[in-house]
A and B are shown apart, each in its own frame.
Chain A
């Protein structure tokens, strides 16, 4: 590896960490709605946590491969798929009624 590697592995690892952090914030916003919704909410909370855990696992697996480049498109596609799942969950919650938080 040349001296000009620009901390490539570290930068990529940190990029994954930031992405997981952003997902964690979105998960918290989803859970804030679902935990108040009884049995249905418990199911949706479980789904949200499962998706979060899946992305954490995918990120860990990918970071372990560094500095090898990512040739497995499945990690890319699956990570995006989980995030799209959050959007679908969010739209479902909005359509079935999320009131503003009472003051």
Chain B
């Protein structure tokens, strides 16, 4: 992966391999990349909001932990977006199959579990207050 990361900065490499694909596919790849950036930005916004707006946490540093976890998750999404864009572009130029990935499924499970934890926290708090 690090070898590929170094290659991102070299625009010649992409133009020289294979043949230029239908521009529609290339633009779709670009929009998918941008959609992943927005996903990462949304996670980061969640982290920044948690840091500023959560109050009265039951455990010390829980607010900070939630904020940093979301910021790091957003970072992983954004870095992976670049890798994904480059690999897809390369596969299209070489006429290969598009790369497959477990990442979207894993991210869905992580976010789903986070949601369940939030539901549990709200329910426990409601019962506790009563």
In the bound complex, residues from chain B placing their C-beta under 8 Å from that of A74 are 8-9, 11
Partner of B52, one of A22, A33, A72: A33
Cα separation A95 to B67 with both chains bound (whole Å)? 10
In the bound complex, residues from chain B placing their C-beta under 8 Å from that of A25 are 41, 45
Chain B 100-122 per-residue mask, 1 if CB under 8 angstroms from chain A, else 0: 00000000000000000000000
Partner of B40, one of A5, A83, A88: A83
Cα separation A87 to B30 with both chains bound (whole Å)? 22
- Contact residue range for chain A? 35 or more
Chain A positions within 8 Å of B, measured between CB atoms, are 5-6, 8-9, 11-12, 15-16, 18-19, 22-23, 25-26, 29-30, 32-33, 66-74, 76-77, 79-80, 83-84, 86-88, 90-91, 93-95, 98, 100-101
27 A-B residue contacts at CB 8 Å? A5-B24, A12-B27, A19-B38, A19-B41, A22-B38, A29-B52, A33-B51, A66-B27, A67-B27, A69-B23, A71-B11, A71-B14, A73-B9, A73-B14, A74-B11, A76-B8, A76-B33, A77-B82, A80-B78, A80-B81, A83-B78, A87-B72, A90-B47, A91-B71, A95-B64, A100-B52, A101-B53
Chain B positions within 8 Å of A, measured between CB atoms, are 7-11, 13-15, 20-21, 23-24, 26-27, 30-31, 33-35, 37-38, 40-42, 44-45, 47-49, 51-55, 63-64, 67-68, 71-72, 74-75, 78-79, 81-82, 85-86
Closest 5 CB pairs of A and B: A69-B26, A100-B55, A29-B48, A22-B41, A77-B8
